[in-house]
Amino acid sequence: MSLTQSALGALVLLPLLVAAVTAVLPHTPRRTLGVGTALVLPVLLAPVLWSTAVDGDVVDLALGGYEPPLGIRLRADGLSAAFLTLSVVVGTAITAYAAVLPHSTGRRIVSPPTMQPEGPAGPGGGAQPEPAEQAAPADRPGVWRPGHPSFWPLWLACWSGLNAVFLSGDLFNTYVGLELVGMTAVALVALGGRSSWQAALRYLFVAVLGSLLLLIGIGLLVSITGTLDVLQAGAVLADAPEETRPAAVLALCLITVGMCLKVALVPFHTWLIPAHAGAPSAVSPLLSALVIKAPVFVLLRVWLWVVPAGEDLAVLTVVLSVMGAAAVVGGSVLALRQTHLKPLIAYSTVAQVGYWFLFAAMVGGSSSGSPEGLPGVDITEDDVVSSALVGTVAMALGHGLAKAAMFLAAGFLKDLYGTDEMDRLRGVGQHHPGLVMAMGLSAVGLAGLPISLSFSGKWMLTTSAVAAGHYWAVVVIVIGTILSAAYLVRAIAPLLVESEDEGTAVEVPEWQLEHASVLTQLPPLVLGLLTIVAGFGGALLGDLLTVGAPW
Amino acid sequence: MTDGPALIDLALGLGVLAAAGCALLPRTRFALATGFLVLGVVISLVWLRLGSVDVALAEAALGGGILGAVLVWLAVRSRPGAASDASDSRGRADGRVRTGLGVLVGVVLSVLGALVWARIYPQIARWQDPVAQQMPDTGVDHGVTAVLLAFRAYDTLLETAVLLMAGVAVMAVGRDGGLHQARIPVHPLSSTLVTMARVGAPVLLLAGLWLLFAGSSESGGAFQSGSVLCAMLILLRVAGVPLTVTTRRWMRPALAVGVVVFILAGLVGPVTGQPWLAWDPQWAGTAILVVEVFLTVGITAGLYMVYLGLDNPQGAP
């Protein structure tokens, strides 16, 4: 029982403990505890990352001392470590942002005369409280105030759930972790006030349906393997008799459809736009950067570790890669047609999701029978899959960093100016140089231009696609890159260009501009810089992902 | 197999189908809710018949009791009339397509579920030996409790956290931090019902506590107990017992205490050089009982909070 193993459990249970405690406390200590957790989690991550990345060991812990198949094993291999790092880095940055700007956490409704707003009244904060009248406060309509203290327990529990999914070595436990993530993510969307409730409810239905499909799939897998442990189930399935194969394929299909719902792959993407665009400023980046990574992680885990590849998956892989390609192109085109900043960024997420599913084509094997490499270079099937995995994970991580920065910046502008309509935000960039720089850097990351992490990812994926003979994937990646550059320029350029018609530009009171201190611009800027800097870690990521890899 | 049991099984099976029909086909919400309640009772009987007392209790308490209460509440509160407002012909056609699609999906899912069950059944034997070996370490005698709070305590902890967060979510969309609804008076009921509720509440309290403490050796446990105790709170509220001050003061601590105590108990492991959630066999039984008591408090509060959320969370017309 080493300290590293204890850290493994603490990565999940510490934020959960703090989440439960903050549910009881008033607002200010909630923020303090939240920031404290954000400071401790990197310390807990460090030994786990050291063991996996430097020593090349898989860290695991049988909870309660009960080994599988009875007990549950936490397991951090290279894939877990990569996603955990994303969760901790982005989570810490957004926690800092929400702590500095409490009004970015949503809008709450209070009775008129009894409660005073805790934060400064921001735009759209509702009517001013009227003096007390004869009627009891309980009988009068409430007023909306900026800032929502429930953000803290919900976000910390969501963080705990994300780490639980990334660390889980058990199929049913993965389902429970996803439930925690889904439940809190829906509630976080609902913090945006009455207008976001419909989107939140729709998200709830989609999330629950996705979970149900996952649960049925896991039930089928247990029925074949007799164990819930990921490694044990994978080992049993690899030697399973032929007649159980249809059930395994059916389970894989159910899990895949469930996770596609949760990750909003085209054509299941319509719930994502109002949910991600309508969520509070501190929540949208969490949803896009982290929450949809949990189902992606589960998919990679089940496809590569549990159900062995085979000829009979050909149809599924083709369908998935076609849906991925449709997402890349369709999402980008729809993003180009948006007039508001946050919906544009939400459609960009839909497009990016598509890239991660091109991976399915490489798992499905090469189109020409055997992988074809350069003359004299021997490329095996495993090389194709491993390089596609590295590419996909690199793109998912790069998207996490860049999208968090982008959504933070867009949400900041929306909170400050009361709108995210791009025509009305013309020229506001001159007041926020740091913010515009953060958006520029994250745009480089999202488009996948050289030296960003997404560029390494696209490069690996392209290499893998060429080796497997899937040239169409290269075409999709190139089209996607061009379109994403176009919609990102469309998003950022107006901020830099002074409005020609003075009448349309938004005015903002001086005191609010003062409030937009340097400190608030720091989290997006740091995330934007990380998007670029992480590009140099592309090779490291490749090494990390070989730790505990199935080949 | 003799004729008697087969007839009972046949009758139960037909009963489930009939009750499901009653829960789906009527046009008014109240009839649908009543049908659902009947379905809950019949399904509990089916579970009992299958020998799964724990599942039967959970189904009766959660599926029949709490969910039934929510549905009846919705049926009573919402405007009377048809359950769907598909009045024009196009809406009706849409409705038919949706019904057809729903039935199709339902059939596919049921077949899959049956397939899973049929295949999973032979696997249970594989778990028997390890369970028998490790039961003494858990400190409890009942297999279900051992799975929930020893072998897979981590899953139970996260599930309890989901319920806690559901409570927090309901509070988050409410007014004044979410406990405003507790102040809204309930609509007066007929005096007979009030008397019934007042007589029933102590019985439910006793049943809830029995389920909690019986869990270590017999069927029962925190989840069943918590839902029965929540039903008691709902009855008291409906009967007009003043709970407002208590609710407003104790709801948040009660919600959180289960998860907090569970994690702190789990922390004993790393502090003493054991894995998380590991308890020494000597006092594991005590640890599990303490955790279960506080879990029951948390589960009761979480379910009751969700029920309170049925009232208009805005708190004003």
What is the reported pLDDT for A197?
A: 92
In angstroms, the separation between the Cα of residue A515 and the nearest Cα of chain B is: 26
Q: Is the pLDDT of residue A11 over 70?
A: yes
Residue B204 lies in a domain: yes
Mean predicted confidence (pLDDT) in A232-239: 92
* Residue B157 resides in a domain: yes
d(CA B27, CA B81): 8
The position carrying tokens 């720089």 is: A437
**Which span out of A281-295, A408-422, A502-516, B107-121 was modeled with the highest average pLDDT?**
A281-295
* Closest chain B C-alpha to A344 CA, distance in angstroms: 27
Residue written as token pair 């919705």: B74
The answer to whether the Cβ–Cβ distance between A142 and B175 falls below 8 Å is yes
- Count CB pairs under 8 A between chains A and B: 201
- Within a domain: B259: yes
B198: domain range? 141-317
Closest partner residue to A24 (CB to CB) among B176, B253, B274 is B253
pLDDT: which is higher, B52 or A104: A104
Closest CB to A180 among B152, B161, B264: B161
Amino acid symbol at B209: L
Is residue B65, in this structure, part of any structural domain at all?
A: no
Which three-class secondary structure state does DSSP give residue A378?
Answer: coil
- Inter-chain residue contact B175 with A154, CB threshold 8 Å: no
Determine, for residues A179 and B162 on separate chains, whether the beta-carbon distance falls below 8 Å.
yes
Contact B204, B231 (CB under 8 A): yes
When pLDDT is cut at 50, 70 and 90, the band that residue A135 belongs to is very low
Q: How far from each other are the two terminal CA atoms of chain A, in whole angstroms?
A: 28
**Chain B residues in contact with A19 (beta carbon < 8 A):** 161, 165
Q: What are phi and psi of A145, to 5 degrees?
A: -125, 145
B176 occurs within a structural domain: yes
Q: Are A352 and A446 within 8 A, CB to CB?
A: yes
Residues of B in contact with A153 (CB under 8 A): 165, 168
Enclosing H/E stretch for A61:
strand A59-62
Contacts of B130 in chain A (CB under 8 A): 69-70
A324: closest CA among A294, A288, A360? A360
Distance CA A179, CA A158 (A): 10
CB spacing of A142 vs B184 below 8 angstroms: no
Evaluate whether residue B84 is within a structural domain. Answer: no
Backbone angles phi, psi at A170, to 5 degrees: -135, 135
Which among A69, A154, A254 is the nearest to B169, CB-wise? A154
* A510: Cα within 13 Å, side-chain hemisphere: 0
Condensed to tens digits (0 to 9), the pLDDT of residues A523-548 reads: 999 999 999 999 888 888 989 999 98
Mean pLDDT, residues A106-118 taken together: 69
Residues of A whose CB is below 8 A from B315: 111, 138, 142
A500, exposed or middle or buried, with CB in 10 Å at 0-12, 13-18, 19+? exposed
Tokens (6 digits) for A27: 């607002």
Stretch among A241-245, A539-543, B163-167 having the lowest mean pLDDT: A241-245
Out of A10, A66, A247, name the one closest to residue B150 (CB): A66
Do A320 and A257 contact (CB within 8 A), yes or no? no
Output the CA–CA distances (angstroms, integers) from residue B109 to A174, A212, B112, in the order listed.
21, 10, 5
Band of pLDDT at residue A369, cut at 50, 70 and 90: very low
Q: What integer is the mean pLDDT of A5-23?
A: 95
B124 in a structural domain: no
Q: How far is A535 from chain B (nearest CA, A)?
A: 35
pLDDT tens-digit series, residues B120-153: 666 666 777 778 888 888 888 888 888 888 899 9
Structure tokens at B182: 């507790």
**Coil, helix or strand at residue A260:** helix
Q: Could you tell me if A490 and A344 are in contact, meaning their C-beta atoms sit under 8 angstroms apart?
A: yes
Query: What is the number of other CB atoms lying within 10 angstroms of the CB of residue B262?
Result: 29
How far is CA A411 from each of CA A148, A164, A201, A340, B184, rounded to the nearest angstrom? 15, 28, 22, 11, 36
**How many angstroms separate the CA atoms of A332 and B106, rounded?**
35
Domain count, chain B: 1
CA distance B131 to B116: 22
Helix, strand, coil shares of chain A, percent, nearest 5, are: 70, 5, 25
Nearest to B172 among A1, A179, A191 (CB): A191
**Partners of B175 in the β-ladder:** A109
CB < 8 Å to A156, chain B:
none
* Interface with B, mutate which of A183, A188, A244, A257 (most B CBs under 10 A): A183
Amino acid A188: pLDDT: 97
Residue B57 included in any domain = no
Q: Report the share of chain B in percent with pLDDT over 70.
A: 87
* Contacts B157 to A, Cβ<8 Å: 13, 16
Look at residue B229 and tell me whether its pLDDT is greater than 60: yes
Structure tokens at A56: 């090349």
User: What is the structure's pLDDT at B56?
Assistant: 85
What's the angle, vertex CA A232, arms to CA A231 and CA A234, rounded to 5?
65
- Amino acid type, B28: T
DSSP class of A110: E
DSSP A381-426: HHHHHHHHHHHHHHHHHHHHHHHHHHHHHHHHHHHHHS--BTTTTT
What pLDDT is recorded for position B78? 66
Contact list in A for residue B143 (CB cut-off 8 A) is none
d(CA B171, CA B179): 7
